[in-house]
Structure 1
Amino acid sequence: MSTPLESATLPSASANASGNETDRVALLDLKKRITQDPLHVMSSWNDSIHFCSWVGVTCNPSTKRVLILDLSSYKLAGSLPSSIGSLTHLTGLSLRNNSFHGEIPQEMGRLRSLQALNVSENSLGGKIPTNISHCTQLRVLYLRFNAITGSIPDNLRSLMSLNHLELFSNKLTGTIPNWIGNFSSLEGLRLTLNNFHGSIPSELGRLTSLEVFSLAANNLYGIIPSSIYNISSIKHLSVSINQFHAELPRNLGINLPNLEYFYCGSNKFTGTIPASLLNSSRIQILYFPINGFTLKALDLSSNQFGGEFPRSIANLSTQLTSLYLGGNLIHGSVPDDIGNLVNLTILAMELNHLTGTVPDGIGKLQKLVGLYLNDNQFSGPIASSLGNLTSLTQLDMFNNRFEGSIPPSLGNCQSLLELNLSYNNITGTIPRELFEVSSLPISLDISQNYLTGSLAYRVGDLVNLLELDVSGNKLSGKIPKTLGSCIMLMRLYLEGSLEEIDISCNHLSGQIPEFLGKFTHLNHLNLSYNDFEGELPKEGIFSNASGLSVIGNNRLCGGLPKLRLHACSIKKSHSSQRLLALKVVIPVACALAFIIAMSCFIVARSKVKNSRGGRVASYSYKGWESFSYLKLFQSTGGFSVDNLIGLGSFGSVYKGVLPTDGRVVAVKVLNLQQEGASKSLMYECKVLRSIRHCNLLKIISACSSFDTQGNDFKSLVFEFMANGSLDSWLHRRDDDQSQSKRLSLIQRLNIANDVASALDYLHRRCETTIVHCDLKPNNVLLGEDMVAHVGDFGLARFHFCWVIGFHRLHSSRYEFLPPFSSYFGILLLEMFTGKRPTDDMFTEGLSIHQFAAMAMPDHAMDIIDPSLLIVRDDADGDDEIYNNDIRARPIGECLVSVMEIGLSCSAILPSERIQMDVVVNKMKAARDSYLYLRRRRRIRS
């Protein structure tokens, strides 16, 4: 298949010398607008050679007029000049995959011969220029992956020759024009990842040549017109992540005989899965079989499909690679012949009501990389045939009723990145083969079962493991000292900062080693429900009652009064103490000391490696400006204390004014002496280079250089947020300026909606799901108009489920995995109670979640932030809505609704937490309800 530019035809018009000069001047004008050219493409654009020989320029051989300008993927940055409209003989223009910004000039409409326009994957904004309507020969219009706003202009109805219209991933709004149905030659229509609303026009059913029809991730609703289901040419149909409802037509598979990809996940479809959709490999008409459509990917997840698990699932084409059925109401058992789908790479059936055993036939799916069976009612033993899935990277079977032992054959799955068997009825010991899966770099979770025995010494083979959860079992014995080889385990990073230890709900015994109090970074230690004995140590974490849990150890004594342990009796004899040390303390001490030693060794080795001439890291990503240390030094007044606006875990933030254009920015300077600072920068750059949302803090640049003394210097430059952090508004200090900051109810609702929208984007609309692991008021920044922006991604994590290699857009299963909405839930409770989760009142097991839950619903008004009682909500001139009326029933119902959302998000069991798309809808409904009540009150008064 030829590219749009290759298929552009040559014009027949002749050109004179003045026309040639016009083209040359227009090209040089474009060159002047280029601000970044790392590959030195523009160096060929000079008078030493004719412009027809410049890189990216193709001319008509006879007229020497520019026909094609192709500068794709040259990493250029700059803007588009209006003079580009002077290239009047141009038939093809491609600037794809660069960093052009600004608007598409209206003068583009002067290119009357243009047949292909591709400016995808840039940072272009503004609206679609209406004058493009004059380019009536245009066959290809690609604007995808930009930041274009506004609606699709009606002027474009004149582009009757269009074959492909791709507006994918912009900020377009409005409804889908019905006149698109007049484009009889249209083969591809992609409007995915925008903000279109309304319904699908039935006129689009006239697009009888359409092969690709993608409207996913918008705000569309209603019933999909039957005319769409009758476009027999469609190969790719995607309507995921909208609000469509009704049943799928029974004859769907017959009416769409060429269908290869069907995505309708995350909607409100009901009924059962059409049998015609599943019998896709061959259709029988009378007695004569004919070839039917060949599905390669099917996503029906996160809807309300019910009925029994379809027996005909095995009739799907063997070319099927992805099958998503999760998040529905399907019941019954899974047939063994599902193993016929031998090319499946993803099988997701989570969050249904499936029962019975997992069939051995799944073991035939040897190309599977992702298998998701969690949150069902499966029972019986775990099929040993799962050990045949040697390509598997993620296996989720948690929240079921599996019993018996863990099959040793799982040790054959040497590609596993994440294994979760938690919350089942599994018994027996942990097979040593499980610890031979040395590829495990993320998580091994076998918690909340009935496992016995000790943690095998082979656990040390899991050298890359980030998380090991064996809590809630009946394990006993010693902690293996080989655990020291797991240098990434339990938040033990390469910097050696052990922050959390949880060995609760086991049968561990003996005295607690005192040197645990020496871990200066340890802020959570859970030793509850074991058999520890003796006096509790006093230093470090043991002096912090809020970070320590020792309940369920009845033979412990001493410690802080808040822990309510009984007083210690007279000390035992010296010989008894020595015997105890030999039996218990020394083995445990050796194990933990080994962990520390290994960590220190890795840190030292890392520092030596870095000191031997490692190159300075580059963080210059697409669309980021270039800044030197000197420029940042000047903009912040030499990093003056007067410009210091914040201190964080890994550095300082300064207000700066760029000397070039007077822009106000925030400069985050990393303290490279702080352990973890470089890793924080790495994660933040990795996240920020791939995301774009109006409620995420926009990064302008990153600088990795040297200061004037030759020391390493690393910083990030962000847009300046005039109203500071949400924390400064929620938790006022004693100074007058802080005391004057008070948030009204509508402001809090707006901020909560902004944050919810940002998180929904990170979880569901990014190519890779991103979890912000440090969401708190300090990291929510408020712009001049009080719009909230989520920032500080130094602790963010990409959810590595995505390694299965399937675009996030067409999968909903991520949303069901913890802890996605829990961070927002705690933030919401803090915003409306005015209490930090770390408040001194939250001790002895009481948390902000429990505090709010106990007050709901009758006493919700008793726990709201007192400042809400004295703030007037006068955003719309309504000065009387607060004070005594805050406790009025309508306002109270709004606050109760918000509190319930916070509690649902932060539910203790991950399976009970609501998804972020549901959160967005509920928060919007709460705000709209409140505004409606305000309007009614104003009318009545």
Structure 2
Amino acid sequence: MEFLQLSGNNLSGMFPASLYNISSIYFISIAVNLLHGILPPDLGLALPNLKIFLLASNRFYGQIPSSIANATRLVQINFGTNAFTGSMPMNFGTLDALEFLGAYENSLGTNQGIELTSFLTSLSNCSNLRLLDLTLNHFKGLLPNSIANFSTKITWFALLGNYISGSIPLDIGNLVNLQKLFLGENMLTGSIPNSIGKLSMLETLELDINNISGEIPSSFTNLTRLGALYLSTNMIEGSIPISLGNCTHLENIFLDYNHLTGAIPYQIFGLTSLIIVSLSQNDLTGLLPQEVGNLKNMGQLFVSKNKLFGEIPATLGNCEVLEFLYMDGNLFNGTIPMSFRQLRGLQELDVSTNYLSGQIPRFFEVFPFFQYLNLSYNMFDGEVPNRGVFTNISAFSVVGNSKLCGGIKLLQLPACPMEVLNGRKRSFNHRLIVLIVTLIIVLLSLCILAILYRNRRSRKRVNLASPLKNQYPQLSYGELFQATNGFSPSNLVGEGGYGYVYKGILNSDEQIVAVKVLNLYECGANKSFVTECEALKNIRHRNLVKIITSCSSIDFRGNDFKALVFEFMENGSLESWLHSSLSKQQEPKNLNFVQRLNIAIDVASAIDYLHNHCEMTFIHCDLKPSNILLDGDLCAHVSDFGLAKIFSATTGISNHQQSSSIGIRGTIGYVAPEYGMGEEVSTQGDMYSYGVLLLEMFTGKRPTNNMFTGNVNLHGYVKMCLPQQVMQIVDPQIILEMEEEPSKPSRSKQCSTANISKLETCLVPVFQIGVSCSVEMPNERMSVKEVIKELHKIRNVFLGVRGKRH
């Protein structure tokens, strides 16, 4: 036996010791069970071929035997969430291929700091180290400076949830390819080193719940890929650096529970990607910047318990997806802005302990999702509303406002004086008169419009439901709003140049869909919408995304709204598989060689259909991994026709009314070079993008990778290595998948370790196709029909399938 896979089966009892004596085994995965037992002292000697060892989330105990280091071929170790005790072995440095070390354990014995330091120092010899995870254990001792000497290939380093002390090494910036750094929930001290700014690939930085002091380094300006910043619950001082405004991909920023001072820089609110902003429990002063209204996607804002003053900016009303807003414990004055009526998705609002005045807005009564409203300890006056959230005494608080009256009986507030009620009555009468006059005017106008419409209906028709053909179902804005939970950030699954994509469930038939909402403020968004509708209503192919309908209407604020509704692809985009963004709860997404080959054939088939088998010739203009969606069977579907160019199949002349060509058509790295010279779009341009896509799929490198500078690009990088050095440029995950996975059901038969030579043989022509498609001269590129023919041959050779004779 070489392979043991028992993960997630709710198994219990003692793990059989005899299984540790199978010397041929190289894969053991028994994670997420209720198994217990100890590891044998001769583990590494008994299992010399062991590569993958996954015991996470069980009840194993005892010490990790030092002999484990003798299993020199180890690639993955995950001992998370167990009950291991004792010291870690000190000679892990002998592991020459350690890519995934998820050793989630162990309380160290005596001389603990020395043991941990020795263990981490020994890993400096692991030249292929890519991921080291010791999360949620009982490690103690100092964080050694030697971690700065880890392999520069390391992308993931985690010690989250231990008892590590000491400071972050000054030379942490040496780990130039680090993408994830998790050191939170420890006892670290000292300051954040300025060299951290050298980690230009960093996507997540988690240092929360420590004793870190000093200031946030200005070198953060270089962390342009940073998506999540967790510095909460430390002793960080100084001001929030303006340089954070350069972190254009930042989505979550947690700086709460520190000693930050000064004003909140308005540049922070220029980061339109922000979803959560948490600045509570600091000593911040000044106004809340008006620019906060730029954060259209912000779902949570926490600025509690600071020293902010002035009026609440009315621009907050622009943050229509806001769900949680905490502003309590500050010095805000004035009234609650009327623009808050637009925040209909609010679930929790706390503005207590400020100096707010005026009447409580009655529009709070109709907010459908309100679960918590705290208006206490302010200077509000007038009548307390008595509908909606104000009917549940446990869901709202108005204590500490001495001038309030009315409301539900449980509040035990005095009845409102007659002038208040009369004022409401006079206001009601005034509104009634205005309403009647308005209705009369509207009725007269409708009569006139009806006559005009009868005369002109042959020339003017209005359709707000769908610009697609009548056979498509018609959906309103309200139905899409409900299907996506109010376009909640939790439903957001992607974004593109012209809008955002939300997962939704249509109540009519419980169908799961993807709703692409166009950002009509973006230049060209309307043209993109028209083009995509025109393209999708005229094409149908198994490898093209299936359109369900479109919606061209107005939202609840009266603004134009345009959206496309597609069949939901449960496996997301090819981008997410090629360049996984891991979280603590997710395991890596990996594609083996045959799966990638199948996807390449699927995409080529879609291109062939668009170029050669439609009444009109369609040129996609924006082929890239994020526009390739994968269904449950990993079958590829080409999406996003917003930049498509449509030509007459007979004349070859572009239909300009159906075109949305805007400047250089496509995405940097994938766009054909001739487009940059002003040349018209062509089918050869799509083939260039396809060639780059194919090279990216099998090298695992984006065409915009930092390694490609000057005259060196992905095309040239691959071409230089053909044919002898293909195994040096292939995505290592392809080789790892072959070594890890013996036969198991999938779209095609998996390969074993013995197929490495066959893999090399098949990779050469694959890369040659990618290089041939991405040459600079358009007329020298392969045609899509040739690509499909060659890829089928390669797949047949790899799978040992003999082609049919014609």
Structure 1 length-normalised TM: 0.44
Q: Which residue of 1 aligns with 2:144?
A: 274
Q: Which residue of 1 aligns with 2:134?
A: 264
Aligned-partner SS, 2:19: helix
Q: Tell whether 2:395 aligns with 1:528.
A: no
Give 1:150 deviation, angstroms. Answer: 4.2
Distance 2:465 2:283 in 1: 43
* Match among 148, 169, 172 for residue 310 of structure 1: 169
| Aligned residues of 2:372 and 2:396 also touching (Cα < 8 A) | yes
Q: Tell whether 2:273 aligns with 1:415.
A: yes
Distance 1:472 1:372 in 2: 23
Give 1:360 deviation, angstroms. Answer: 0.1
Q: Which residue of 2 aligns with 1:185?
A: 49
- Percent identity between the two aligned chains: 30
Q: Tell whether 2:318 aligns with 1:461.
A: yes
* Match among 220, 242, 257 for residue 399 of structure 1: 257
Give the letter for the 2:380 counterpart.
F
* Match among 372, 386, 399 for residue 551 of structure 1: 399
Q: Which residue of 1 aligns with 2:35?
A: 172
| Aligned residues of 1:447 and 1:469 also touching (Cα < 8 A) | yes
Give the letter for the 1:402 counterpart.
L
Q: Which residue of 2 aligns with 1:632?
A: none
Give 1:272 deviation, angstroms. Answer: 0.9
Over 3 Å counting, the alpha-carbon distance change for 1:147 and 1:679 in structure 2 is farther
Give 1:543 deviation, angstroms. Answer: 5.6
Distance 2:421 2:177 in 1: 74
Q: Which residue of 1 aligns with 2:358?
A: 510
Give the letter for the 1:359 counterpart.
P
Number of equivalenced pairs: 465
Over 3 Å counting, the alpha-carbon distance change for 1:224 and 1:564 in structure 2 is same
Structure 1 residues 474-517: Cα deviation after superposition (integer angstroms, max 9, x where no partner): 223343333344443x12xxxxxxxx554423333223456756
* Match among 303, 306, 309 for residue 452 of structure 1: 309
Give 1:460 deviation, angstroms. Answer: 3.3
Mapping 1:205-284, distance limit 5 Å: 205-228=69-92, 231=95, 234-240=98-104, 243=107, 246-247=112-113, 248-256=115-123, 257-258=125-126, 259-280=129-150
| Aligned residues of 1:241 and 1:267 also touching (Cα < 8 A) | yes
Over 3 Å counting, the alpha-carbon distance change for 1:270 and 1:143 in structure 2 is same
Mapping 1:115-130, distance limit 5 Å: none
Distance 2:138 2:398 in 1: 46
| Aligned residues of 1:157 and 1:179 also touching (Cα < 8 A) | no
Structure 1 residues 239-294: Cα deviation after superposition (integer angstroms, max 9, x where no partner): 1255556334434455331133221122222221112222335xxxxxxxxxxx64
Q: Tell whether 2:62 aligns with 1:198.
A: yes
Q: Which residue of 1 aligns with 2:641?
A: none
Q: Which residue of 1 aligns with 2:217?
A: 359
Give 1:395 deviation, angstroms. Answer: 0.9
Structure 1 residues 789-847: Cα deviation after superposition (integer angstroms, max 9, x where no partner): xxxxxxxxxxxxxx993231599xxxxxxxxxxxxxxxxxxxxxxxxxxxxxxxxxxxx
Q: Tell whether 2:173 aligns with 1:326.
A: no
Aligned-partner SS, 1:476: strand
| Aligned residues of 2:138 and 2:162 also touching (Cα < 8 A) | yes
| Aligned residues of 1:393 and 1:804 also touching (Cα < 8 A) | no
Aligned-partner SS, 1:204: helix
Over 3 Å counting, the alpha-carbon distance change for 1:579 and 1:712 in structure 2 is closer
Structure 2 length-normalised TM: 0.50
| Aligned residues of 2:147 and 2:172 also touching (Cα < 8 A) | no
Distance 1:340 1:712 in 2: 51
| Aligned residues of 2:210 and 2:234 also touching (Cα < 8 A) | yes
Aligned-partner SS, 1:331: coil
Give 1:299 deviation, angstroms. Answer: 1.0
Over 3 Å counting, the alpha-carbon distance change for 1:244 and 1:414 in structure 2 is farther
Aligned-partner SS, 2:245: helix
Give the letter for the 1:324 counterpart.
F
Q: Does 377-386 or 164-173 show the bigger shift? A: 164-173
Aligned-partner SS, 2:146: helix
Give 1:194 deviation, angstroms. Answer: 3.0
| Aligned residues of 2:48 and 2:73 also touching (Cα < 8 A) | yes
Mapping 1:861-880, distance limit 5 Å: none
Give the letter for the 1:270 counterpart.
K
Q: Tell whether 2:196 aligns with 1:338.
A: yes
Aligned-partner SS, 1:808: coil
Distance 1:330 1:362 in 2: 20
Q: Tell whether 2:245 aligns with 1:387.
A: yes
| Aligned residues of 1:213 and 1:237 also touching (Cα < 8 A) | yes
Over 3 Å counting, the alpha-carbon distance change for 1:334 and 1:425 in structure 2 is same
* Match among 470, 478, 491 for residue 327 of structure 2: 470
Distance 2:264 2:68 in 1: 53
Distance 1:196 1:370 in 2: 33
Q: Tell whether 2:24 aligns with 1:161.
A: yes
Distance 2:136 2:336 in 1: 44
Give 1:469 deviation, angstroms. Answer: 2.5
Over 3 Å counting, the alpha-carbon distance change for 1:302 and 1:810 in structure 2 is farther
Over 3 Å counting, the alpha-carbon distance change for 1:164 and 1:575 in structure 2 is closer
Over 3 Å counting, the alpha-carbon distance change for 1:453 and 1:576 in structure 2 is same
Give 1:576 deviation, angstroms. Answer: 11
Aligned-partner SS, 1:277: helix
Gaps of 5+ in 1: 1-137, 282-292, 492-499, 587-604, 617-673, 687-703, 715-802, 812-941
Q: Does 409-418 or 305-314 show the bigger shift? A: 305-314
Q: What is the root-mean-square deviation of aligned Cα atoms in Å? A: 4.4
Over 3 Å counting, the alpha-carbon distance change for 1:555 and 1:241 in structure 2 is farther
Give 1:351 deviation, angstroms. Answer: 0.8
Mapping 1:600-749, distance limit 5 Å: none
Distance 1:414 1:520 in 2: 26
Distance 2:369 2:54 in 1: 50
Give 1:549 deviation, angstroms. Answer: 1.8
Give 1:202 deviation, angstroms. Answer: 3.3
Distance 1:272 1:341 in 2: 23
Structure 1 residues 100-125: Cα deviation after superposition (integer angstroms, max 9, x where no partner): xxxxxxxxxxxxxxxxxxxxxxxxxx
Give 1:144 deviation, angstroms. Answer: 3.9
Q: Which residue of 2 aligns with 1:825?
A: none
Gaps of 5+ in 2: 435-463, 492-504, 512-578, 588-806
Distance 2:73 2:387 in 1: 74
Q: Which residue of 1 aligns with 2:339?
A: 482
Distance 1:306 1:206 in 2: 30
Q: Which residue of 1 aligns with 2:581?
A: 805
Distance 1:406 1:353 in 2: 23
| Aligned residues of 2:170 and 2:194 also touching (Cα < 8 A) | no
Distance 1:198 1:676 in 2: 54
Give 1:333 deviation, angstroms. Answer: 1.8
Distance 1:606 1:240 in 2: 54
| Aligned residues of 1:263 and 1:810 also touching (Cα < 8 A) | no
Give 1:580 deviation, angstroms. Answer: 13
Over 3 Å counting, the alpha-carbon distance change for 1:393 and 1:253 in structure 2 is same
Give the letter for the 1:480 counterpart.
P
Aligned-partner SS, 1:334: coil
Give 1:420 deviation, angstroms. Answer: 1.0
Aligned-partner SS, 2:28: strand
Distance 2:55 2:424 in 1: 76
